[in-house]
């Protein structure tokens, strides 16, 4: 019953996607010309670096497209923990990041038209546009704003506890819903078709499951102990793989750079790190502090090997974190770079822009295929290395 309703939701979602695609397609051409128009009209140069950055970092609203002067974006809820109280409002209050939001003593939002004096302002929040906390919500003082009346670039008022449902959080939930729908679906199929040949999605996913079990878990951890870690390995593999793929879909609800976000990869790496530590045995620590097969003068009086090994305990998950982040982010940057070329050349000459678009789109398509491969490879590498670390931590002492 639950699975059926989840499936229904998913199809509703697909329809929504299809709608947004067709909207984007019909607007695609105008978008191009409008982009060039606005740049010439406002004498505001197209900034490829800024555009790419805006696409790959997290955001408080989900920007879908800009049509002329109008921005079509989905506002997302902002959740700020201020003095042990949760303050919530929609990100549309920031007006695409151009305005700050002020609150009074009762944590009620002061609407812009009532913002005449600084008297009843308790605290203010704004999305930073420059500096250390760029594109994050920071506290601002009323004076900051009322003095300059412009976009606040930096502040000394500090950072709030920000638990906002950002674009990446929404994308995360979309990805997780897809995963839950897929695997509860096939679990049901497995139960229903006990002992029969796989069918449908089941037969598409089974090779991956069997591969992870046999060639990752069993070969890295061992015949007897691998079963304990298999659920985690399968979950991270499909989490990374599916979210990589979702990240490649260029329209809502895809396109968020979730697996290329350092916070997400950090959490994944920390899961691996803690599972490794919790399950590590005496032999593992012996290898770290008293590495066998190494000359004594590498351990005493200067404990060179132990230092290297202890560092290794932390560099392993760190490398996991950076590798996934860098690979996925790089893919997004390069693809967006090719698309940017169209607008860079379009700024010089509209015709040139159209000409370059052919080459750029061809390269972007090539990259998309490459990224599909990378999506699989990175999921595989993360899972394989996690399995290797678990294997190392649980390896028994043998002569």
Partner 1 sequence: MELVSPGLGLIFWMTLSFAIVLFLLSKYAWPLILNSLKERETEIANSLEAARQARKDIQNLQAHNEDLLKEARNEREELLREARQLKDDLILKAKSQAEIEAKQIVENAKALIEQEKTAALSQLKNQVADLSIEIAERLLKSELSADKKQKELVEKLIGEAKHQLN
Shortest distance, CB of residue 184 to partner 1, whole angstroms?
6
Q: Taken in order 207, 213, 214, 219, is the CA torsion positive or negative? A: positive
Taking CA atoms, 270 is separated from 263, 265, 314, in Å, by 10, 8, 10
Nearest approach in angstroms of CB 324 to partner 1 is 13
| Nearest residue (CB) to partner 1, 123 versus 345 | 123
Asked whether 201 and 185 are in contact (CB, 8 A), the reply is yes
Residue 143 C-beta: closest distance to partner 1, Å: 25
Cβ proximity to partner 1, 103 vs 325, nearer residue = 325
The nearest distance, CB 261 to partner 1, in angstroms, is 7
Largest CA distance in the chain: 79
Contact 334/313 with Cβ under 8 angstroms? no
Distance CA 310, CA 352 (A): 56
* Shorter beta-carbon distance to partner 1: residue 46 or 163: 163
Q: Which of residues 215 and 396 has its CB atom nearest to partner 1 in the complex?
A: 215
Q: How far is the CB of 320 from partner 1 (least distance, A)?
A: 14
Closest CB to partner 1 among residues 143, 227: 227
| Rounded Cα gap, residues 136 and 113, in angstroms | 25
218 and 226 Cβ atoms separated by less than 8 Å: yes
Of 142 and 321, CB closest to partner 1: 321
Nearest approach in angstroms of CB 162 to partner 1 is: 5
Positions in the binding site for partner 1 (CB under 8 A): 53, 56-58, 79, 132-136, 161-166, 168-169, 172-173, 176, 179-180, 183-184, 186-187, 190-191, 194-196, 206, 209-210, 213, 227, 230-232, 234-235, 239, 261-264, 266-268, 271, 325, 329
Closest CA to 88 of 76, 99, 98: 76
Side-chain-facing half-sphere of 345: CA atoms under 13 Å = 15
């Amino acid at each position: 019953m639950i699975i059926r309703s989840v499936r229904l939701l998913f199809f509703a979602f697909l329809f929504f996607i299809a709608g947004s695609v067709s909207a984007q397609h019909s607007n695609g051409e105008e978008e191009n010309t409008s982009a060039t128009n606005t740049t010439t009209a406002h004498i505001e140069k197209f900034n490829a670096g800024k555009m790419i950055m805006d696409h790959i970092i997290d955001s408080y609203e989900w920007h879908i497209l800009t049509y002329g002067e109008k921005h079509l974006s989905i506002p997302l809820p902002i959740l700020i923990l201020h003095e042990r109280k949760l303050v919530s409002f929609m990100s549309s209050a920031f007006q695409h990041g151009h305005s700050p939001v002020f609150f009074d003593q009762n944590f009620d939002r002061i609407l812009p038209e009532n913002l005449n004096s600084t008297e009843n302002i308790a605290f203010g929040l704004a999305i930073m546009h420059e500096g250390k906390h760029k594109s994050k919500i920071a506290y601002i003082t009323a004076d900051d704003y009322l003095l300059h009346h412009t976009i606040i670039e930096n502040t000394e008022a500090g950072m709030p506890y920000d638990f906002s449902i950002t674009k990446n959080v929404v994308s995360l939930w979309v990805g997780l819903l897809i995963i839950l729908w897929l695997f509860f679906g096939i679990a049901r199929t497995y139960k229903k078709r006990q002992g029969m040949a796989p069918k449908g999605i089941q037969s598409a996913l089974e090779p991956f499951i069997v591969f992870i079990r046999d060639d990752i878990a069993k070969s890295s951890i061992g015949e007897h102990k691998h079963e304990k870690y298999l659920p985690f390995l399968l979950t991270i593999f499909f989490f990374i793989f599916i979210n990589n793929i979702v990240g490649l879909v260029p329209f809502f609800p895809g396109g968020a750079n979730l697996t290329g976000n350092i916070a997400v990869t950090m959490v994944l790496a920390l899961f691996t790190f803690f599972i490794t530590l919790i399950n590590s045995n005496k032999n593992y620590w012996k290898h770290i502090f008293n590495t066998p097969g190494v000359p004594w003068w590498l351990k005493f009086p200067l404990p060179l090997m132990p230092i290297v090994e202890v560092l290794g305990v932390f560099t392993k998950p760190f490398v996991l974190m950076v590798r996934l982040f860098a690979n996925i982010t790089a893919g997004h940057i390069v693809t967006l770079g090719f698309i940017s070329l169209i607008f860079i050349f379009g700024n010089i000459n509209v015709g040139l822009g159209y000409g370059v678009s052919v080459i750029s789109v061809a390269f972007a398509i090539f990259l998309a295929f490459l990224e599909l491969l990378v999506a699989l490879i990175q999921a595989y590498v993360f899972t394989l290395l996690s399995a290797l670390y678990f294997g190392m931590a649980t390896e028994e002492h043998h002569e």
